[in-house]
Structure 1
Amino acid sequence: MSKYRIYEPGERQAALERRRLRKMARTAHGYVRGNTRQFYEWLGEMPKLHLPETPPIWICGDCHIENLGALAGSNGHVAVQIRDFDQSVVGHPGHDIIRLCLSLASAARSSDLCGTVTARMVEEVVRNYALALARGRRDEVPKAPDLVEATQRCAFDRSWKHLARDRLKHRTPSIDPGKKFWPLAPEERAAIVALFAQPAMRDLVLKLHHRGAEARIEVVDAAYWVKGCSSLELLRYAVIIGIWDGGAAPRYALFDIKEAEAPIAPAARPEAMPNDPAERVVAGARALSPILGERMGTGRIMDKPVFVRELLPQDLKIEVDQFASKSALAVAGYLAYVVGDSHGRLMSVEARDDWRRAVRQRGAAEIDAPDWLWHAVVAMSGRHEAAYLEHCCAHDLIYRH
């Protein structure tokens, strides 16, 4: 029996809302990660913020530190790329840079680093993002810092047993109810079984595991997955799929099903995106992180759009508990290069050169960064710090009494 309270389907909504609010109250950095909606609202309320003109491209839309990390392709190659596309839209690339810088500034603040380090991190973001846009020689790629290298090394050696132990807390192909996994309603399980019975989803599973059409797949186990922060109130499921091919022992795969909703990030060209929210998420992933996008598909669960992706053992987010000054600068520069490389691949040569000059243009402040970026980071850091304190007072203290 689980030591945690297990919530039935009818009890979920209130429990998830409490959990989301408490999770955002744990750290200032956590509040920034879970506060995408107000980020864009406050950004829109800055009358002096004028982003340089550039043709819109697919952007992450929620480009904070933990939405980048190690990802594995079907060929076994592991690379650090953007790994979350819930807010992906065809929009302004400057939004991704501001969001990344705000996330880095918040992480530095949570690590008790001085403001000078934050300023230097913004400079590293500008320098390395612009370097990626230059599309120069591969030997110019910045060296992965220790934190990122450790994530990649760990990713290379992982197997299904590691994935099952980390995600499911044991090595067997089953999901035990507990803090992270809650029971399904009968109609939810039926909808999940029906989803994987659809030809497109079945073909995706077999393609990812290099199996022929004669192979058989089956939903072995499934549960409601309590995961994320700002998206906690959306449907989310963990599903174990068994794959049988002839007389060989079955192979198992873990799939993540998540409800898609209309984006919060502002779209510059809505007509260039799929109307279906789940198809939009997958299109953004395929544009910005192809090795993840190729593992994704779309469907519906109880008439709600969902996107589906296989989780591989090598998929690891970059987790920042405490920054030191040197590692903070290295991580800032490296992640900025990753984002810049993803953006740059989607731009024409002319647009890329113009945008690079706009990013590298030094402003009036005593920092090697454009005014639009620095002023946005300063203003947004202040708004989030004040809102975080109000959030803790309004929610965390109430739940403690």
Structure 2
Amino acid sequence: MRDAYERIISFNQNRDARFLPMKYKLMVSSAFRFFRGSCHLFYEDLAQNQTWDDQTVAWVCGDLHVENFGSYKSAQNVVYFDLNDFDEATLAHPTWEVIRFLSSVFIAGKELNLLEDDLKRIASTLLNDYLTALQLGKAFALEKETLDGILKKYIKDVADRDPIAFLNTHSLLDNHNNRTLIIDNKKYFAIDSREMKQELIVKFQDYLNSLNTSISESNEEFEVKDMALRIAGTGSIGLTRYVFLVYHNIEKMYYLYDVKQAQPSSLSPVLKSTQPEWKSEAERIQTIQNYMQYITPAGLSHFSFQGLSYVVKALQSEQDKMDFKQCVEKPKKFTDACHNMAKLIAYAQIRSSGRKASASVDELIEFAKQAQNWKSKLLDYAYNYYQQVLQDYTSFCKAYAAHQPTNPQVKK
């Protein structure tokens, strides 16, 4: 008997138990959140039930759903829209990337009250968008100057966001004009050990200054002012994650850094293709992200502490992900919002082609030309798996409720 609840509990058993209730509470909040938090289920199932043949190997981000596209600023302060989560990134079959994306289209579309017939048409349209872009064999960037419609306004809003206002939502000034992080015990949590906190501050400050390539005589441009535990996303909750408040002594400005623990990809147990050897999981994530994105986010690097590796990047606003609320009961708007996402999948595979045993551009083009051999099977699988997710979500919610402690009756 299929037991999604036990599989999820088992997968997360080695994570920080303090924060797992938050993850599970988010996962029962909607079928899409459940899908986001159970990437490992998807690939365990896919490896057993795939109905089409795909011998091509390409770089994939691994956890590609409609909310893992978003806007971010580069080191040059230019805003881009691209794939933006590479925790599960690895060398795998390109159809695996596409099928997870299309499954997410069905699940997200249902929550937007779109009809299933409309969703089937949308999925087919997006698959064609991907294949057309792949056959062109050329990757493009998505910037506000090259976009129109819903995405153009979205990127403009991100570009116009006030950095000081953003900083003030995460930190505050005390009476001595010193800035500290806001510990709200919802997103940010204090670190219990003062000694460990101080050691982390020293290590991360030294790390940032070691990256300094400026002509400045000072080797202490960066000064870490504060840090905290951070909770964000869904799938990564329970892994160690920090936010660092950093002051740049030359620019006289504050910056926020997101530092997230890296772990092996959820695809690893089911992969048959030979993978490159990496010095750390964080090196894997950073390297593949650099392959697949047009421009990487500001501050992207990797850092090690006490035997764990972490991916480092400038903290981006959680508002920098697409808000699909305006697509409720509007299939055309939803199609328009996802249209560029489908093309970005192709662009990312093209950019990373030929790197460390991945298929060449010509091989990817030929792969796309042979789509008639697997296209209908891919669409059928995405639709059927969407139905499976709804069933798993329902059973997970029931099991979750059954495992919650019951409150004693209050005596009147």
> For this structure pair, what is the TM-score category when the shorter chain's length is used for normalisation?
0.7 to 0.9
Aligned pair in 2 of structure 1 residues 315, 93: CA closer, same or farther (>3 Å)? Answer: farther
Aligned twin of 1:338: 344
Q: State how many pairs are aligned.
A: 373
Residue pair 1:156, 1:314 contacting (<8 A) in 2 also? no
Q: Distance in 2 between matches of 1:183 and 1:380?
A: 40
Q: 1:265 aligns with which of 250, 267, 282?
A: 267
Residue pair 1:72, 1:291 contacting (<8 A) in 2 also? no
SS at match of 2:131: helix
Aligned twin of 1:127: 128
Amino acid at match of 1:320: F
Aligned pair in 2 of structure 1 residues 36, 313: CA closer, same or farther (>3 Å)? Answer: closer
SS at match of 2:324: coil
- Please show how residues 46-125 of structure 1 align to structure 2 within 5 Å: 46=49, 48-54=50-56, 56-125=57-126
Aligned twin of 1:366: none
Q: CA deviation at 1:269?
A: 4.0
SS at match of 1:292: coil
Q: CA deviation at 1:399?
A: 4.2
Sequence identity percentage: 19
Q: CA deviation at 1:293?
A: 5.8
Q: Distance in 2 between matches of 1:139 and 1:242?
A: 31
Aligned pair in 2 of structure 1 residues 114, 331: CA closer, same or farther (>3 Å)? Answer: same
Please tell me the root mean square deviation across aligned C-alpha atoms, in Å.
2.9
Q: CA deviation at 1:290?
A: 4.6
Aligned pair in 2 of structure 1 residues 102, 262: CA closer, same or farther (>3 Å)? Answer: same
1:24-78 CA-partner distances (Å, limit 9, x unpaired) = 11111111111101011111220x5223221x22210000111111122222322
Q: Which blocks of at least 5 consecutive residues in structure 1 are unaligned?
A: 1-11, 364-369
Aligned pair in 2 of structure 1 residues 112, 95: CA closer, same or farther (>3 Å)? Answer: same
Aligned pair in 2 of structure 1 residues 136, 91: CA closer, same or farther (>3 Å)? Answer: closer
Q: Which blocks of at least 5 consecutive residues in structure 2 are unaligned?
A: 1-14, 354-359, 407-412
Amino acid at match of 1:356: A
Residue 308 of structure 2 corresponds to residue 304 of structure 1: yes
Q: TM-score, with normalisation over the residues of structure 2? A: 0.82
Q: Distance in 2 between matches of 1:264 and 1:182?
A: 27
Residue 198 of structure 2 corresponds to residue 194 of structure 1: no
Aligned twin of 1:183: 190
Q: TM-score, with normalisation over the residues of structure 1? A: 0.84
Q: Distance in 1 between matches of 2:161 and 2:216?
A: 26
Q: CA deviation at 1:202?
A: 2.0
Q: Distance in 1 between matches of 2:142 and 2:400?
A: 47
Aligned pair in 2 of structure 1 residues 196, 136: CA closer, same or farther (>3 Å)? Answer: closer
Aligned twin of 1:25: 28
Q: Distance in 2 between matches of 1:306 and 1:132?
A: 33
SS at match of 2:82: strand
1:336-356 CA-partner distances (Å, limit 9, x unpaired) = 011111112223232121122
Aligned pair in 2 of structure 1 residues 139, 98: CA closer, same or farther (>3 Å)? Answer: closer
Aligned twin of 1:382: 387
Q: Distance in 1 between matches of 2:204 and 2:313?
A: 12
Greater mean alpha carbon deviation, residues 316-325 or residues 282-291: 316-325
Aligned twin of 2:165: 162
Residue pair 2:190, 2:228 contacting (<8 A) in 1 also? yes
Q: Distance in 1 between matches of 2:215 and 2:180?
A: 22
Q: Distance in 2 between matches of 1:127 and 1:170?
A: 49
